[in-house]
Amino acid sequence: MTRWSGALLSASLLSLSLGLAPQISVAQARELPDFTEMVERVGPAVVNIRTSERVRMSRSENPEIDEQMQEFLRRFGIPVPNQRRGAPRDEDAPQRRGVGSGFILSADGFVMTNAHVVEGADEVFVTLTDKREFKAKIIGSDRRSDVAVVRIEATGLPTVKIGDISRLKVGEWVMAIGSPFGFDNTVTAGIVSAKARDTGDFLPLIQTDVAINPGNSGGPLLNMRGEVVGINSQIYSQSGGFMGISFAIPIDEAIRVSDQLRSSGKVVRGFIGVLPDDLTKEVAESIGLGKPNGAIVRRVEPNGPADKAGMEGGDVITKFDGKAIEKAVDVRRVVAAIKPGSKVPVQVFRRGAHKELSLTVGEMPDDRQASAGGGSEPSSPSSPPAASQALGLTVSEIPDAQKRELKLRAGVRVDAVSGAASRAGLREGDLILSVENVEIGNVKQFQAQLAKLEKAKVINLLVRRGDQVNFILLRPSR
C-alpha cells in the first residue's frame, strides 16, 4: 500500500468514526423524490377493474388461465390458449376475463380506463381502496385512442387532479399506481423518457421507464404534483414482461375523448378520404420540394372530401388548416381533431409548385381508417408500344375507357421493363402520370419530355399502381 492510499484510507476511517458518512447519505437522500404524501393523497382515487363475459363453450373445454395473463395476451393480439381439456363445464357460464386499473374523474362516479380493459365485457366491476365493490356501466369506449369511461352508482368519491401536459418535461420524475397481476394500489416510479412518441395513428404517446405490467392498464401516470398526466396503456416487450419501456396516453387527449364519450357515447373524428405516406429526402429533393416535410397522397378515395376538393394522387400535403405537416401521421391527427362539416384550407405541392385547396371535412366512418379500399390492376391496352431503350422502358397509350374508369386525365402505360426501369422497381401495368413534375398526356409527350433531360440525371416519375400512386426515382444506366 502506498503512503497516499494509506492516507486516503485513514481519512475514510476518520470520517466514519466522526459520523460524517451518515450525514452525506442523508444529504443525498434529500435530493431523491419522496412519493409518500402523493400516494396517500391520490391512492384512494385509483380503482381496480375486473371484467367478465359470458362465453358459450362445449363441455369438453376448460380454458382456465390466469386472468391477468389473459388481459396481457389480448392486449398484444396473442390468442388465449386452453390450459387443459376434459373437465366438464356448464354452457354459458360467466368467465372472469381480465383485470385492469382506472381512476375516478368525478365524485359522482365517472371512471376513466383503457378501452382494451373493458372491450367485450358483459360485466364490469370497480373496487375502491376501501374494499367497496360496484357493478359499473360502460358509458363509452373508443378503440382508436384506447380510452373508455365507465360509471358506478356512488357519490362523494375521491377524485384525481388533471395535469397540464404542456408542462411535462423529458427526464421528469413520474409515478404510476395500478393493480399489476391483481396487487391493488401498487406504486412504481421512473422518469419521462420521451414525449409525443409516434406509436399510434391518432395519439402521440408518452414514453417512460416506469414499471408497467398486466393489470396496470388504465391506471394513472402522475407528475410530482400529484396530477394525472397520462393513462398507462402499453409496454414494449420481446419477452412478455416489462423491459424498461412503457407508454401512456397523454391526459389532454384522453380528456377530449372522455368528454365526447360522456356526452354522446362515441367519438366523432374528421375524415378526408386519402391514404397519406411519408416523404423521403431523396424524393423531396427530386420533385423540387427540398426538405422532406409533408405527406404524399398515395390514394384519393373517389367522391370523398379530398376528391371533391380537387386533391390528386401524388400531391404532397404541406399544410392543413394552417398547421404545418411534416409526416403522414400529422395528417391523420390533424384531420381527426377537426369537426366534421368544417371548411378548411389545404396547401399541397403539385408538379413543382404549391397549390391552395378548400376542403370540407367529412366524418370518419366507424372502424375504418382515413384511407380507401383496394382496386384492380389496369388491363393491358392494345395500342402499339413505344420504346425508351436507354431507360429500359416500353410504354403505350392508356385506352380511353381505362382513363374514364380510373378518372385519369393523362398518362402512359408500362408494357415492359428492363435495366434501369427494372432496378427502380417499375412493373408491367404501371401507369406513369408525370415525368419531372410535368404531366404526361400521351406517349409522344412522354418521349419528348425524356429527350429534354440530361442523360445521367435521376428522373422522378409519378406512378400509379393499382389504386395507389407514388414517386419512383429512375437512375439511367451509365
Mean pLDDT to the nearest integer, 186-198: 91
**Residue 132 domain boundaries:** 41-151
User: Based on the domain organization, do 249 and 275 belong to the same domain?
Assistant: no
Q: Provide the H-helix boundaries in 240-376.
A: 251-264, 281-286, 305-308, 328-336
User: Based on the domain organization, do 280 and 238 belong to the same domain?
Assistant: no
**Which residue is listed with cell 373508443?**
142
Nearest to 411 by CA among 401, 425, 397: 397
- Active-site residue identified among 141, 145, 193, 217: 217
Q: Is 380 a catalytic residue?
A: no
Judge whether 74 and 80 are in contact, CB under 8 Å.
yes
* Residues 6 or more apart in contact with residue 247 via CB below 8 angstroms: 197, 199, 205, 206, 207, 208, 232, 233, 234, 235, 236
Structural domain contains residue 11:
no
Give dist(CA 423, CA 192) in Å, integer: 44
Q: 337-352 pLDDT, tens per residue?
A: 899 999 999 999 998 8
Structural domain contains residue 209:
yes
Residue 264 clears pLDDT 50, i.e. is over it: yes
Mean pLDDT to the nearest integer, 302-321: 93
User: Based on the domain organization, do 168 and 203 belong to the same domain?
Assistant: yes
User: Based on the domain organization, do 146 and 169 belong to the same domain?
Assistant: no
Residue 227 clears pLDDT 70, i.e. is over it: yes
Q: Is 396 a catalytic residue?
A: no
User: Based on the domain organization, do 52 and 82 belong to the same domain?
Assistant: yes
Structural domain contains residue 14:
no
Alpha carbons within 13 angstroms on the beta-carbon side of residue 7 total: 3
- Active-site residue identified among 101, 116, 246, 307: 116
User: Based on the domain organization, do 109 and 204 belong to the same domain?
Assistant: no
Q: Which H helix or E strand runs over 423?
A: helix 419-424
Q: 284: domain CATH number?
A: 2.30.42.10
User: CB burial class (10 A; 0-12, 13-18, 19+) of residue 154?
Assistant: middle
Q: 87-131 pLDDT, tens per residue?
A: 445 445 556 567 899 999 999 999 999 999 998 888 999 999 999
User: Based on the domain organization, do 48 and 147 belong to the same domain?
Assistant: yes
User: What pLDDT score was predicted for residue 385?
Assistant: 34
- Active-site residue identified among 146, 184, 330, 430: 146
Structural domain contains residue 128:
yes
Mean pLDDT to the nearest integer, 160-182: 93
Give dist(CA 435, CA 410) in Å, integer: 12
Give dist(CA 186, CA 182) in Å, integer: 9
Q: 169: domain CATH number?
A: 2.40.10.10
Residue 303 clears pLDDT 50, i.e. is over it: yes
Give dist(CA 206, CA 211) in Å, integer: 14
User: Based on the domain organization, do 95 and 117 belong to the same domain?
Assistant: yes
Angle at 208 between CA 204 and CA 213, to 5 degrees: 105
Residue 381 clears pLDDT 60, i.e. is over it: no
Structural domain contains residue 156:
no
Q: 40-95 pLDDT, tens per residue?
A: 999 999 999 999 877 555 444 444 555 555 655 555 555 555 554 444 454 455 56
Structural domain contains residue 373:
no
Give dist(CA 102, CA 217) in Å, integer: 8
SS3 245: coil
Structural domain contains residue 15:
no
Residue 427 clears pLDDT 80, i.e. is over it: yes
User: Based on the domain organization, do 244 and 290 belong to the same domain?
Assistant: no
As for how many domains the chain has, the answer is 4
**Grid cell locating 154:** 356512488
Q: Which H helix or E strand runs over 417?
A: strand 412-417
User: Based on the domain organization, do 248 and 288 belong to the same domain?
Assistant: no
Residue after which a domain boundary falls, among 151, 172, 200: 151
User: Based on the domain organization, do 398 and 445 belong to the same domain?
Assistant: yes
Nearest to 128 by CA among 153, 148, 145: 153
Give dist(CA 275, CA 273) in Å, integer: 7
Better pLDDT: 6 or 32: 32
Q: 136-145 pLDDT, tens per residue?
A: 999 999 988 9
User: What pLDDT score was predicted for residue 389?
Assistant: 58
Structural domain contains residue 25:
no
Judge whether 85 and 165 are in contact, CB under 8 Å.
no
* Pairing mode of beta strands 468-474, 270-271: unpaired
Q: Provide the H-helix boundaries in 203-348.
A: 251-264, 281-286, 305-308, 328-336
Nearest to 439 by CA among 456, 460, 418: 460
CA dihedral for 74, 76, 79, 82, sign (positive or negative)? negative
Q: Is 130 a catalytic residue?
A: no
Q: Give backbone dihedrals phi and psi of 439, rounded to 5 degrees, phi first.
A: -65, 135
Alpha carbons within 13 angstroms on the beta-carbon side of residue 284 total: 18
Alpha carbons within 13 angstroms on the beta-carbon side of residue 430 total: 23
Residue after which a domain boundary falls, among 210, 230, 254: 254
User: Based on the domain organization, do 48 and 142 belong to the same domain?
Assistant: yes
Question: Following CA atoms 257, 259, 265, 270 in sequence, which dihedral angle do they give, to the nearest 10 degrees?
Answer: -50
- Fill in the DSSP letter of residue 398: P
Residue after which a domain boundary falls, among 199, 221, 254: 254
* Residues 6 or more apart in contact with residue 56 via CB below 8 angstroms: 91, 92
User: What pLDDT score was predicted for residue 58?
Assistant: 47
Residue 372 clears pLDDT 80, i.e. is over it: no
